[in-house]
């Protein structure tokens, strides 16, 4: 087996090790590469910036701890922006593992931004039933969420004054790790006519481009990069901006291994290929 | 880089961090190979999450939406107020609060749990499934048709309409002046959609013009898959960064100068 | 008095939803028509789907190696179309597995799906004439937690070492965790999902992948049952109409006419 | 009876929900309230479904312990942790809200969060090994996959801009711009086609469920 064949069949554990080393390094010692902003995030920023009548933003925190590194920076940056503009933020969750994460963000908003619970911000907690909950919120917020997460009656919160139904919201911002985004778009956006925007994990974001392009959502943040962009737009760089260096190195590790794989494939024994992919149509015939 | 103290062991918070760090490492060990630590963490995960969901579902859904409603309903019934008990106001109009009407989902719920108790009556659970799935299907028919089919079809010619002043005005879109590049993009987008759509025709054999279109469709699909994959890598690394930030900053107490 | 609530004031129906309604009704008609035709025994053609041609080979391989087959029906509920499609495929796969007398492991995230799958399996083994070899313990619920489920299924993969892995249905971010672990144990993997953003990972990690609608077509393809064929045919019909409408709409918009464009929005 | 009753129920609930979509529900109180109530019922049913699941989980592991399975220690882990967390969540919560239950939050933050997040973060490694194996220029399709992935991967992180500057690629030809173009145009085109197909498939299945043609949800359907 010559070097090219070896390059073509590296044990996956070497790849894992390389990944661990090159992602850890900038986490310990940031490199400070520049971050650019994209139009999807800018249009969300300017949409929120131009909300005038102080109608609340519904912040749908539909993600659990597993995707928090990507989505929590977005939540924090948007809350920071809204609070600074005096726009109330009402949080809801349609994913069962979301409340723990949301609770931490709400504590942060009170401590860091001085947001007053019940007035500037409210968190209504989790409710099972996804589609059904959205539809119910359209009929009345307190019908879906009679009490907030902390046990207060939703209708008694000052923030809810003049805010009966989902239709009264100035924006629904869905922070999503799953297909719940589609539901917000279908029901809150298309059916009730509320502006919808998305903050999504980088996995789900490409799918939502369709909706951005067709005008069904007003803005889109994708992955940690989206969060980093919003952090920069609000002028408060945080964890997401910090993580961008590690992103770059991680990507380079993968590219390098892809190059190894291709070198091995072309220069090794008759283009020996260790992958067993038959899906790619060329192989299927 | 300054090395601070490792998280303390003897406070609730510190203990929590140690537990979290231990479990993090247990899961990471799977990358090398399966081992008792991973196996332990895996089973613990199943148990903890089950207990977690039971609690969350109970407090956030079952209690406020069913138990509290039924309690109110029975209280009204005890006072002899039949109308209120079933969620009707004085005029007989249906109130939003269902009260004893929640007996219907309670019954359906019990049907589901009959599977445990009685094999003979387990078929009753089908009624609950039918209810559950019927409601979901009914909602899905018009919404899937509208959002996923019609609006997407509209999206595929949207650009053309806004590039044409007459069309834009009559459709209420904002007219745009399109450059050649924008026109090319709009056509590429449409060709891609139509050819990829043709790939999903199952009724016709892939021959002639359809074969060419299928081929183009597959090319678009592959570019799209590659792009999604590449885009996703970011997300995956973000998650790892999140865990590393936890291990380095919170557990080992490293601070960045 | 009790019928007070029946009295309405303004418009009963929503404005601007008529096209959706017509499209739904048209679709219903098309399905019922093709169904009637299919039940009368009309021969309905369906193009080949390579991933499905490999099903027999994949099951046979597991039998030869004396290893089990893992079938993951996705992570969504029974109300999800992908899950129903997956259960249809499970029925077919189970029949063949029963014929080969291999072991079939089916872990679940949704309790309803588990209950339904139990019936599906019983039925399949009965039809294969081997109800006695069905082990109901191999069809089980793990947890509703997404990653708890994934951790457990990965554990099963590395310990039971299935020779063939089916990942059919709705998947979320765990798709690659499952598919890569399956790949690492050298299993033949046949995946299929309508989760658009998970397709790339299955394409990259599995031997065969059913893309989007191919998943729905799979049940029909494997069984040729009229009930399943009918909707596939009807969907093709609507797709054809839509395809033509988009092209006509394009021509009209270029001429400055927005009528088709507006029709799509209603 | 065992088939007809469920099929009838699916038909009635389904037809009503589809019908209610087209009704201006703000004007028609009875439709609105029935619609809400059916929604509400489904929310509550989800809880019973969970009970069913956890019940079977506990029974399965209890059986393993009874059978003295060699792995019964792990079954103990499952049973004890389920019951302990459920106990803390259900019985140590005072008042109306679980948000105020500190012990429960502690368990969430220190067990559920790290397990879930770490499991998820394994993807960073798996994505690398999958890319290494899959992205080889074997044929046209695989090459397109490879090129699109590589451009987007580099174009979406800060270093992409740095590399572009180094290669003197600017404006629409910089890597971030090309990456965005790929996401906006070919990617959207393909996704849109898949979405339309799926939409039709979803509608078709839902229609068949309502008319009792699709009975998979009843198991064998007999």
Looking at the structure, tell me whether residues A118 and A214 fall in a common domain: yes
Looking at the structure, tell me whether residues A17 and A43 fall in a common domain: no
Nearest residue in chain A measured CA to CA from D135: A258
Total domain count, chain A: 2
The range of the structural domain enclosing residue A8 comes to 3-30+243-280
More confident residue, D80 or A244: D80
Task: Identify the bridge partners of residue C107 per DSSP, sorted by sequence position.
Answer: C140
pLDDT digits (tens, 9 = 90+) for D35-73: 888 877 888 898 999 999 999 999 999 999 999 878 899
Nearest residue in chain D measured CA to CA from C6: D30
Residue ranges with strand state E in chain C: 69-72, 104-108, 139-141, 164-168, 188-193, 208-211
Looking at the structure, tell me whether residues A11 and A132 fall in a common domain: no
Q: Can you read off the two tokens belonging to residue D42?
A: 């489904």
What CA–CA distances, in Å, run from B2 to A25, A28, D35? Answer: 15, 10, 60
Q: Which helix (H) or strand (E) holds A122?
A: strand A121-126
Looking at the structure, tell me whether residues A204 and A264 fall in a common domain: no
Residue C177 Cα to chain centre, angstroms: 20
By three-state DSSP, how is residue A89 classified? strand
Binding partners of A (≥3 Cβ pairs within 8 A): B, C, D
Looking at the structure, tell me whether residues A228 and A251 fall in a common domain: no
Round the CA-based radius of gyration of chain D to a whole number and report it.
26
Q: Are B59 and C168 in contact (CB under 8 A)?
A: no
Nearest residue in chain C measured CA to CA from A12: C184
Q: Are B232 and C177 in contact (CB under 8 A)?
A: no
| Mean pLDDT computed over A6-23 | 93
Mean pLDDT of chain B: 88
Domain map of chain D by residue range? 1-91, 135-222
pLDDT digits (tens, 9 = 90+) for B178-190: 889 999 999 999 9
**Residue D220 binned pLDDT confidence (cut-offs 50, 70, 90):** low
CA within 13 Å, CB half, A21: 7
Q: Are A197 and A217 in contact (CB under 8 A)?
A: yes
pLDDT digits (tens, 9 = 90+) for C64-113: 999 999 999 999 988 888 998 999 999 999 999 999 999 999 999 999 99
Determine whether the interchain pair C204/A277 forms a contact, defined as Cβ–Cβ distance below 8 Å: yes
What CA–CA distances, in Å, run from B194 to A284, B156, B186, B191? Answer: 23, 9, 12, 5
CA within 13 Å, CB half, D192: 32
Q: How far is B210 from chain D (nearest CA, A)?
A: 15
The whole-angstrom separation of Cα D54 and Cα A23 is 38
The whole-angstrom separation of Cα C60 and Cα B33 is 28
**pLDDT of B257 over the 70 cut:** no
The whole-angstrom separation of Cα A89 and Cα D83 is 36
What CA–CA distances, in Å, run from C159 to B30, C185, D119, D149? Answer: 12, 10, 18, 33
Of the listed ranges A70-79, B49-58, B164-173, the least confidently predicted one is B164-173
Task: Identify the bridge partners of residue D186 per DSSP, sorted by sequence position.
Answer: none
What is the pLDDT at residue C97? Answer: 95
CATH at residue A191: 3.40.50.720
Show the 3-state SS of chain D.
Answer: CCCHHHHHHHHHHHHHHHHHHHECCCCCHHHHHHHHHHHHHHHHHHHHHHHHHHHHHHHHHHHHHHCCCCCHHHHHHHHHHHHHHHHHHHHCCCCCCHHHCHHHHHHHHHHHHHHHHHHHHHHHHHHHHHHHHHCCCCCHHHHHHHHHHHHHHHHCCHHHHHHHHHCCCCHHHCHHHHHHHHHHHHHHHHHHHHHHHHHHHHHHHHHHHHCCCCCHHHCCCC
**Residue A284 binned pLDDT confidence (cut-offs 50, 70, 90):** very low
Q: Smallest Cα–Cα separation from A119: which of A160, A76, A154, A148?
A: A160
The whole-angstrom separation of Cα B201 and Cα D134 is 27
What CA–CA distances, in Å, run from D47 to A96, B127, C88? Answer: 12, 16, 26
Q: Does B232 touch chain C (CB under 8 A)?
A: yes
Query: C129's torsion region: left (phi>0), alpha (psi -120 to 50) or beta?
Result: left
Looking at the structure, tell me whether residues A207 and A249 fall in a common domain: no
Looking at the structure, tell me whether residues A9 and A101 fall in a common domain: no
**Residue B87 binned pLDDT confidence (cut-offs 50, 70, 90):** confident
What is the pLDDT at residue B2? Answer: 43
ipTM of the complex: 0.90
Low-confidence stretches of chain C (pLDDT < 50) are 1-9
Determine whether the interchain pair C5/B193 forms a contact, defined as Cβ–Cβ distance below 8 Å: no
By three-state DSSP, how is residue A235 classified? coil
Angle between helices B208-245 and D175-182 in degrees, nearest 10: 120
Domain-located, residue A285: no
pLDDT digits (tens, 9 = 90+) for D94-123: 876 777 788 998 998 899 989 999 999 999
DSSP state, residue A129: -
Query: D61's torsion region: left (phi>0), alpha (psi -120 to 50) or beta?
Result: alpha
DSSP state, residue B191: H
Looking at the structure, tell me whether residues A110 and A217 fall in a common domain: yes
Residues whose CB is less than 8 angstroms from the CB of residue D149 and which lie 6 or more positions away in sequence, other chains included: A258, B226, B227, B229, B230, D131, D135
| Mean pLDDT computed over B43-69 | 92
What CA–CA distances, in Å, run from D25 to A33, D31, D40? Answer: 53, 6, 16
Per cent of chain D over pLDDT 70 is 98
What is the pLDDT at residue B33? Answer: 93
What is the pLDDT at residue D193? Answer: 95
What is the pLDDT at residue A279? Answer: 62
Q: How far is A8 from chain D (nearest CA, A)?
A: 8
Q: Would you tell me which residues 191-250 of chain C have a C-beta closer than 8 angstroms to some C-beta of chain D? A: 194, 196, 199, 201, 203-205, 211-213, 216, 227, 230-232, 234-235, 238-239, 242
Best probe of the A interface among C53, C144, C147, C173, by most A CBs < 10 A, is C173
Would you say how long chain D is, in residues?
A: 222
Residues whose CB is less than 8 angstroms from the CB of residue D175 and which lie 6 or more positions away in sequence, other chains included: D151, D154, D155, D160, D161, D163, D164, D169
Binding partners of B (≥3 Cβ pairs within 8 A): A, C, D
Looking at the structure, tell me whether residues A138 and A192 fall in a common domain: yes
Domain-located, residue A179: yes
Q: Can you read off the two tokens belonging to residue A100?
A: 């723990």
| Mean pLDDT computed over A261-266 | 90
**pLDDT of A145 over the 80 cut:** yes
| Mean pLDDT computed over A255-271 | 87
The whole-angstrom separation of Cα D39 and Cα D37 is 5
Angle between helices B125-143 and C18-39 in degrees, nearest 10: 120
Size of interface A-C (CB pairs under 8 A): 43
Mean pLDDT of chain D: 88
pLDDT digits (tens, 9 = 90+) for B61-83: 899 889 999 999 999 999 988 88
What is the pLDDT at residue A271? Answer: 63
By three-state DSSP, how is residue A45 classified? helix
Q: How far is C179 from chain B (nearest CA, A)?
A: 14
Looking at the structure, tell me whether residues A120 and A175 fall in a common domain: yes
Determine whether the interchain pair B166/C159 forms a contact, defined as Cβ–Cβ distance below 8 Å: no
| Mean pLDDT computed over B92-112 | 87
pLDDT digits (tens, 9 = 90+) for A157-190: 999 988 889 999 999 999 998 778 888 998 899 8
Q: Are A118 and A152 in contact (CB under 8 A)?
A: yes
Residues whose CB is less than 8 angstroms from the CB of residue A155 and which lie 6 or more positions away in sequence, other chains included: A142
The whole-angstrom separation of Cα D8 and Cα D5 is 5
Looking at the structure, tell me whether residues A111 and A250 fall in a common domain: no
Sign of CA dihedral D6, D12, D18, D21: negative
Mean pLDDT of chain A: 88
Domain-located, residue A53: yes
Residue C66 Cα to chain centre, angstroms: 28
Looking at the structure, tell me whether residues A21 and A66 fall in a common domain: no
Determine whether the interchain pair B135/D38 forms a contact, defined as Cβ–Cβ distance below 8 Å: yes
Q: How far is A239 from chain B (nearest CA, A)?
A: 9
What torsion, rounded to 10 degrees, do the Cα atoms B128, B131, B133, B136 define? -140
pLDDT digits (tens, 9 = 90+) for B198-247: 999 988 888 889 999 999 999 999 999 999 898 888 778 888 998 998 99
């Amino acid at each position: 087996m010559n070097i090219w064949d070896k390059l073509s069949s590296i044990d996956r554990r070497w790849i894992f090790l390389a990944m661990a080393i090159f992602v850890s390094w900038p986490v310990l010692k940031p490199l400070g590469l520049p971050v650019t902003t994209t139009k999807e995030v800018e249009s969300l920023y300017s949409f929120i910036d131009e909300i005038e009548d102080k109608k609340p933003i519904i912040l749908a925190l539909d993600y659990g701890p597993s995707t928090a590194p990507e989505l929590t920076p977005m939540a924090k940056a948007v809350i920071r922006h809204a609070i600074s503009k005096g726009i109330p933020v009402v949080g809801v969750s349609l994913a069962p593992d979301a409340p723990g994460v949301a609770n931490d963000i709400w504590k942060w908003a009170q401590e860091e931004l001085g947001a007053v619970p019940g007035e500037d911000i409210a968190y209504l907690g989790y409710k099972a039933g996804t589609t059904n909950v959205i539809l119910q919120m359209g009929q009345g917020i307190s019908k879906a969420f009679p009490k907030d997460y902390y046990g207060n009656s939703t209708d008694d919160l000052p923030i809810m004054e003049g805010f009966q139904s989902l239709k009264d919201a100035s924006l629904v911002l869905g922070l999503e790790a799953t297909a719940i985004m589609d539901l917000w778009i279908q029901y809150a956006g298309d059916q009730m006519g509320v502006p919808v925007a998305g903050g999504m994990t980088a996995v789900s974001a490409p799918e939502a481009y369709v909706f951005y392009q067709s005008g069904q959502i007003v803005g889109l943040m994708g992955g940690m990069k989206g969060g980093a962009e919003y952090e920069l737009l609000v002028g408060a760089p945080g964890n997401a901006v910090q993580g961008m260096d590690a992103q770059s190195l991680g990507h380079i590790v993968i590219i390098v291994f892809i190059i190894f794989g291709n070198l091995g494939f072309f220069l090794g024994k008759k283009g020996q290929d260790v992958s067993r992919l038959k899906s790619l149509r060329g192989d299927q015939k | 880089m300054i090395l601070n103290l490792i998280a303390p062991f003897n406070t609730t918070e510190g203990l929590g961090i140690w537990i979290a760090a231990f479990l993090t490492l247990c899961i990471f060990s799977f990358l090398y190979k399966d081992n008792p630590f991973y196996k332990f963490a895996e089973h613990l995960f199943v148990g903890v999450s089950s207990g977690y969901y039971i609690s969350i579902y109970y407090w956030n859904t079952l209690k406020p939406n069913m138990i509290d409603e039924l309690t109110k309903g029975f209280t009204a019934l005890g006072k002899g107020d039949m109308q209120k008990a079933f969620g009707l106001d004085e005029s007989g109009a249906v109130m939003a609060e269902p009260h004893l009407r929640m007996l219907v989902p309670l019954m359906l719920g019990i049907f589901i749990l009959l599977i445990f108790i009685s094999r003979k009556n387990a078929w009753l659970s089908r009624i609950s499934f039918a209810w559950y799935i019927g409601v979901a299907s009914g909602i899905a028919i018009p919404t899937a048709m509208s959002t996923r089919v019609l609006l997407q079809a509209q999206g595929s010619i949207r650009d053309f309409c806004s590039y044409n002043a007459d069309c834009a005005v009559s459709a209420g879109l904002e007219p745009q002046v399109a450059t050649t590049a924008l026109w090319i993009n709009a056509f590429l987008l449409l060709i891609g959609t139509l050819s990829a759509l043709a790939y999903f025709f199952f009724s016709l054999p892939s021959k002639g013009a359809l074969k060419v279109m299928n081929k183009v469709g597959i090319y678009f699909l592959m570019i799209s898959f590659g792009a999604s994959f590449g885009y996703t890598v970011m997300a995956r690394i973000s998650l790892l960064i999140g865990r590393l930030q936890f291990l380095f900053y919170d557990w080992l107490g490293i601070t960045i100068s | 008095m009790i019928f007070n609530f029946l009295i309405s004031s303004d418009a009963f129906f929503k404005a601007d939803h008529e096209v959706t309604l017509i499209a739904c009704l048209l679709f219903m008609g098309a399905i019922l028509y093709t169904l009637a035709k299919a039940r009368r025994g009309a021969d309905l053609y369906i193009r080949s789907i390579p991933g499905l041609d490999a099903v027999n080979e994949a099951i046979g391989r597991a039998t030869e190696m004396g290893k089990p087959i893992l079938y993951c029906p996705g992570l969504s509920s029974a109300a999800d179309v992908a899950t129903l499609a997956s259960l249809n495929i499970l029925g077919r796969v189970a029949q063949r597995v029963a014929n080969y007398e291999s072991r079939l492991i089916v872990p679940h995230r949704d309790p309803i799906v588990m209950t339904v799958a139990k019936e599906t399996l019983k039925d399949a083994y009965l039809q294969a004439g081997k109800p006695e070899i069905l082990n109901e313990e191999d069809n089980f619920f793990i947890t509703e937690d997404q990653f708890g489920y994934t951790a457990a299924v990965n554990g099963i993969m590395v310990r039971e070492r299935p020779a063939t892995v089916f990942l059919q249905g709705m998947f979320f971010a765990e798709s690659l965790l499952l598919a890569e672990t399956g790949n690492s144990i050298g299993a033949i993997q046949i995946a299929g999902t309508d989760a658009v953003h998970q397709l790339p990972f299955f394409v990259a990690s599995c031997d065969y992948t059913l893309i989007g609608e191919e998943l729905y077509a799979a049940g029909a393809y494997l069984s040729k049952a009229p009930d399943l064929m009918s909707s596939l045919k009807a969907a093709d019909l609507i797709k054809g109409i839509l395809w033509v409408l988009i092209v006509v709409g394009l021509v009209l918009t270029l001429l400055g006419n927005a009528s088709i464009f507006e029709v799509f929005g209603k | 009876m065992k088939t007809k009753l469920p099929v009838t129920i699916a038909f009635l609930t389904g037809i009503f929900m589809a019908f209610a979509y087209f009704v201006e529900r703000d004007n028609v109180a009875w439709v609105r309230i029935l619609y809400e109530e059916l929604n509400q019922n489904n929310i509550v049913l989800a809880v019973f479904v969970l009970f069913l699941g956890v019940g079977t989980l506990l029974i399965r592991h209890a059986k393993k312990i009874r059978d003295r399975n060699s792995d019964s220690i792990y079954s103990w882990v499952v049973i004890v942790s389920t019951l302990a967390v459920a106990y803390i969540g259900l019985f140590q919560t005072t008042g109306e809200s679980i948000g105020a239950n500190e012990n429960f939050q502690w368990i969430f933050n220190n067990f559920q969060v790290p397990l879930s997040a770490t499991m998820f973060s394994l993807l960073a490694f798996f994505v690398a090994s999958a890319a290494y194996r899959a992205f080889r220029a074997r044929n046209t399709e695989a090459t397109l996959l490879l090129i699109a992935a590589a451009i987007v991967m580099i174009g979406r992180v800060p270093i992409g801009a740095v590399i572009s500057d180094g290669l003197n690629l600017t404006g629409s030809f910089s890597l971030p711009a090309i990456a965005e173009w790929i996401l906006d145009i070919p990617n959207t085109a393909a996704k849109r086609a898949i979405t339309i197909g799926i939409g039709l498939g979803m509608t078709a299945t839902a229609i068949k469920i309502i008319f009792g043609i699709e009975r998979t949800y009843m198991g064998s359907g007999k």
